[in-house]
Structure 1
Amino acid sequence: MEYRLIVTDLDGTLLDENKNIPEENMRAIEAFRKKGGLFTIATGRGERGALPYIKKLNLDIPAVLFNGGELYDPQKGRIYTVYLERKLYDIIIDHFMDNPEIGIVVHYHDKVFISEIKSAHDYYINVQKVIYDRVYNLKEIERANKILLVGDVALAKEEIKRIEQKYGININAVQSDKYYFEILPENVSKGEGLKKLCDYLKIPLGKACAVGDNFNDISLLKTAGLGVAVENAEEPLKKKARFITRRNDEGGVAFLIEKILLGKMEPFTIK
């Protein structure tokens, strides 16, 4: 096979609109593995949100979590992880704590922390269905893999620019959903996560195929030997993709795998 490794995003890509893995995707992944292929996920989710899918998929190689901030091996646990710089963490918490339009969700390995529940949190809580811990003060959290800002993303972007100007710093932030804007450690991205994964597996990047749907997948697609977008992807991501597969709720990953197994990667768009 031309591509030995397939790395796919979860939400909006491998998962359908009900956050389930379509059966056609499961069957295609199994067929790919039987041919000697390797399969894993690259997601903005942390351990708590990703582990149910890691188990469902029976992954046997590391998953890329926290948008590239962690490599998590199903057997060995964390083999690479990085945290937000403490000063930046405190600045972000202080700045958004009293903003009624933006909710704060702090992720640390398998923990998810929320302090004050705002209306902006409703979407995250209802859609992700992740169990979270309530804390009185988020600044009591010693370390964090990322801060998720939930709600008005346009406003969050404006406020991050204000913080950068005020403190003379550059903040690594990325949009991962219509309502999600993520603050990540310096130099963290799914693309960098893929590099670390391929180095760990001793597989050339050119032999990796990556699939995604949102802005945080752009670096992933640019880094892989073959970058693929699902049909429901954001337009900027589609422009970076060499191949556009079917929608997430139409078994887009399965359709792609069938193309790889059959060796029919031309043309690069659905007819």
Structure 2
Amino acid sequence: MKLIATDLDGTLLNEKSEVSSKNILAIRKAQESGIEVVIATGRSYEAAKKPLMEAGLSCPIICVNGSLVYLKSGEIIRTIPLDKESCRKIQLACESEHMYFEIYTSNGGYSVNRDKFIHVLINMMKSHFPNVETDVLKERIQQRFQDEKIQATDDFDVIFNNPNIDVYKFLAFSLEDVTLHRVREQLKDEQDLAITSSGHLNLEINHRDANKGAALSFYANRLGIELEDVMALGDNFNDYSMLEIAGFSVAMENADPAIKELCDFTTKKNSEHGVAFAIEKVLEGEFSKQTF
């Protein structure tokens, strides 16, 4: 194994949105043995870097679902923005279904007044963290707005018409599956879009070439590493593209069943240091075509 790519939320990060001490140790051991470890996340660069810095880790970061690739130094080596016409189509589709949505840009994140949608985000997080108190979830959501630098706006056209701002991703939420389906249906014929999800209550919309798989392939090729020597770990559908191309694909025990079906292996839950467990198997030479 020469390269390991891991998702953050639901994968490397535990129920406290932290990198556990066991995961930290395993990543450091992999790096010391000469294995490149890269983060691949739907988060923005700033929000992805924060838990790594808190853990004392330094890794290249594929962020915003592959729209941007950063080296350890912070240098951007790949960028795939949405075109502005597509942005307006996505905006209209989301607004027609009264969905709360955010856009990730080169100038931070933007959303409409988010206060009335906080209950939607709380309910979304409750599905992932059923044992966490509502007040704690609300505090995490407020922190997330700060980490992602989400700014309020009443006029997205000002952003879309600004030639100095690139838009990389729309993240839209709904408590109703039928609403998510209707937005997908509205945009299904847009050939330049990739529509995926990092949870059953959201949609993530990027340029078709901005996905984790394409970005991971780009990065591996840059290092001269064959995909058969790459291990990828994830838990949800925005991880699908990289799990599909990696020589060794690993689903978390908490992953969506369809992701488990796709992958070669299933490791422990993110709350049980599943990334560390998989890395240890690699380092010990115990990787075989069976569930861990």
TM norm. shorter chain > 0.5: yes
In the alignment, structure 1 residue 67 sits paired with structure 2 residue 68: no
How far apart in 2 are the matches of 1:169 and 1:129? Answer: 30
Contact 1:103 1:121 survives alignment (8 Å) = no
Alpha-carbon offset, residue 90 of structure 1: 0.7
In the alignment, structure 1 residue 193 sits paired with structure 2 residue 207: no
Contact 1:47 1:110 survives alignment (8 Å) = no
> Structure 1, residues 215-265: CA drift from partner, whole Å, max 9, x if none?
111111111110000111001100111111100000001101110010001
> Structure 1, residues 37-81: CA drift from partner, whole Å, max 9, x if none?
111110011123212134345555531111111101231421111
Which residue of 226, 229, 237 corresponds with 2:251?
Answer: 229
How far apart in 2 are the matches of 1:50 and 1:141? Answer: 23
How far apart in 2 are the matches of 1:189 and 1:37? Answer: 23
In the alignment, structure 1 residue 206 sits paired with structure 2 residue 206: no
- Rate the CA distance shift 1:71–1:26 in 2: closer, same or farther, 3 A: same
- Equivalent residues in 2 for 1:57-206 (5 A)? 60-97=58-95, 99-100=97-98, 102-109=99-106, 111-117=108-114, 119-122=116-119, 123=121, 126-127=140-141, 129-131=144-146, 132-142=150-160, 143-152=166-175, 154=177, 155-164=179-188, 168-170=189-191, 171-206=193-228
Amino acid at match of 1:105: E
Contact 2:264 2:289 survives alignment (8 Å) = no
Amino acid at match of 1:35: S
In the alignment, structure 1 residue 254 sits paired with structure 2 residue 286: no
Contact 1:12 1:213 survives alignment (8 Å) = yes
- Rate the CA distance shift 1:55–1:201 in 2: closer, same or farther, 3 A: farther
Residue aligned with 1:80, SS: strand
Q: Which residue does the alignment assign to 2:44?
A: 46
How far apart in 2 are the matches of 1:253 and 1:110? Answer: 32
Figure out how many residues of one structure are paired with residues of the other and give that number.
Answer: 264
Once the two structures are overlaid, the 10-residue window that deviates more, 202-211 or 148-157, is 148-157
Contact 2:45 2:61 survives alignment (8 Å) = no
Identity of aligned residues (%): 28
Instruction: Give ranges in structure 1 of 5+ residues lacking alignment.
Output: none
Residue aligned with 1:184, SS: strand
Residue aligned with 1:91, SS: helix
How far apart in 2 are the matches of 1:64 and 1:148? Answer: 17
Q: Which residue does the alignment assign to 1:218?
A: 240
Alpha-carbon offset, residue 120 of structure 1: 3.6
Alpha-carbon offset, residue 33 of structure 1: 1.4
> Structure 1, residues 72-98: CA drift from partner, whole Å, max 9, x if none?
123142111111121110111123236
Which residue of 286, 289, 292 corresponds with 1:264?
Answer: 286
> Structure 1, residues 163-211: CA drift from partner, whole Å, max 9, x if none?
44xxx53332001112221111122211111111101222111111000
- Rate the CA distance shift 1:153–1:13 in 2: closer, same or farther, 3 A: farther
Amino acid at match of 2:20: P
Q: Which residue does the alignment assign to 1:17?
A: 15
Superposition CA RMSD, Å: 2.0
Contact 1:47 1:65 survives alignment (8 Å) = yes
Instruction: Give ranges in structure 2 of 5+ residues lacking alignment.
Output: 123-137, 161-165
Amino acid at match of 1:40: V
Contact 1:153 1:178 survives alignment (8 Å) = no
Alpha-carbon offset, residue 160 of structure 1: 2.6
- Rate the CA distance shift 1:110–1:31 in 2: closer, same or farther, 3 A: farther
